[in-house]
Amino acid sequence: MSSRKAWGLVAILGVVALVFGGILLSLDRDAAEPSLVQYNAQYIDAGAMLRLTETLSSDALEGRATGSRGNEAARDFIQKRFETLGLRQFGDTYFQPFTATPVVQGGAPVSGVNVVGWIAGQTPGDGPAMVITAHYDHLGIVDGEIYNGADDNASGVAALVAVAQYFTLHRPRHDMIFAVVDAEEIGHLGSNAFVASPPVPLERIALNINYDMVSRSDAGEIYVAGTFHTPELKPIVETVATEAPVRVLVGHDDPALGEADDWTLLSDHEPFHEAGIPFLYFGVENHPAYHQPTDDYTDITPDFFARAGDTLVMAAIAADDALEAIEVMRRAD
């Protein structure tokens, strides 16, 4: 793929306006040719999910690095989707700003913004709640090339929105919080900020489900990490796996595997885990485009992504049904 040089400020603002203007008018139209998605999704709007992934990973957003104009544009677009779905706010805004020092870069603190909304469940408001997370930042521009991060993690954000849309139409049993977090790539700063200052008491959060890279698998496989640390979650995952339209594999969460293959501390579920909250992390294995400028929308596998989207809804339904038991188990530990 040819090198893509960074655009000037005027150009990016103009293109972002054009992209957003067109996309806002066509959110509900299919984003891919029918030949790219043979699967007939049962739970999600596959076209809208693909369209959002394409938008967030476009050159116009210049890789969505924390603090950049592209990151801000992505954040505003996610906010618009939350508004369209009618997600509730905590207070009078979806935005939860934070300031933190990057772990992997060091140096001066950076400012980021999480986008958080929620759906009220059918059970009393002080009962257990579930938090679904996905990070919207990526690497930005490196050596003059745009790192678009289509799979990492425009796909996870689009999947989160698709799952949220399902539950706006099918009210969950328990409160569901949807947190699209910032600054994952520089040390999980957004998710750490969320756990440090949660919008509900931390003891209410019975489970975190995290999406990070869910759109690209030629083998049709998605991994679920977390059951090694909380074996009681394994039956839930195994039940979903029997009916899921993709192959669901359990693993990548045993410290004995070593740092590269143990994903326990490698994404936004890490702060929840450190706080003693069970997690399920859904993601594909690394592929050649991981953290490369070739992680583009044109190279995801749309049919797999649509199947994965349905699978994520199925897993959230199963977790919602079991949330009281998960809470009891957590308190017993």
Token output for 140: 């930005």
DSSP structural state of residue 151: I
Percentage of residues in the chain having pLDDT higher than 90:
83
Residue 278 falls within a domain, yes or no? yes
Task: Quote the CA–CA distance of 148 and 141 in Å, as a whole number.
Answer: 9
pLDDT at 124 over 60: yes
In this prediction, residue 273 carries a pLDDT of 98
Summarised one tens digit per residue, pLDDT across range 229-274 is 999 999 999 999 999 999 999 999 999 999 889 999 999 999 999 9
Token output for 219: 């083998």
- For residues 116 and 94, the answer to whether their CB atoms sit within 8 Å is yes
How sure is the predictor about 69, in pLDDT bands with cuts at 50, 70 and 90?
A: very high
CATH number at residue 154: 3.40.630.10
Domain count of the chain? 1
Residue 2 falls within a domain, yes or no? no
Positions of E strands within 127-257: 129-135, 140-142, 145-147, 175-181, 205-211, 221-225, 247-250
Amino acid 327 reads E
In this prediction, residue 36 carries a pLDDT of 67
**Count of Cβ atoms closer than 10 Å to residue 67 Cβ:** 16
Average pLDDT for the chain:
90
In this prediction, residue 274 carries a pLDDT of 98
The predicted model gives 70-84 an average pLDDT of 98
In this prediction, residue 37 carries a pLDDT of 83
Residue 82 falls within a domain, yes or no? yes
Task: Quote the CA–CA distance of 285 and 143 in Å, as a whole number.
Answer: 26
Residue in the block written with tokens 């990526």: 138
Residue 283 falls within a domain, yes or no? yes
In this prediction, residue 17 carries a pLDDT of 42
In this prediction, residue 26 carries a pLDDT of 40
Highest mean pLDDT among 119-128, 310-319, 324-333: 310-319
**Which three-class secondary structure state does DSSP give residue 280?**
strand
Residue 40 falls within a domain, yes or no? yes
How sure is the predictor about 9, in pLDDT bands with cuts at 50, 70 and 90?
A: very low
Higher-scoring residue by pLDDT: 333, 106: 333
pLDDT at 314 over 80: yes
The predicted model gives 146-159 an average pLDDT of 98
How sure is the predictor about 330, in pLDDT bands with cuts at 50, 70 and 90?
A: confident
**Count of Cβ atoms closer than 10 Å to residue 18 Cβ:** 11
pLDDT at 1 over 80: no
Residue 1 falls within a domain, yes or no? no
Question: Which is nearest to 211 in space by CA: 274, 141, 162?
Answer: 162
Range(s) of the domain holding residue 111: 9-332
Residue 27 falls within a domain, yes or no? yes
Residue 4 falls within a domain, yes or no? no
The H or E element spanning position 20 is: helix 9-24
Summarised one tens digit per residue, pLDDT across range 163-177 is 999 999 999 999 999
How sure is the predictor about 104, in pLDDT bands with cuts at 50, 70 and 90?
A: low
Lowest model confidence (mean pLDDT) among 33-37, 49-53, 121-125, 182-186: 33-37
Question: Which is nearest to 60 in space by CA: 288, 297, 300?
Answer: 297
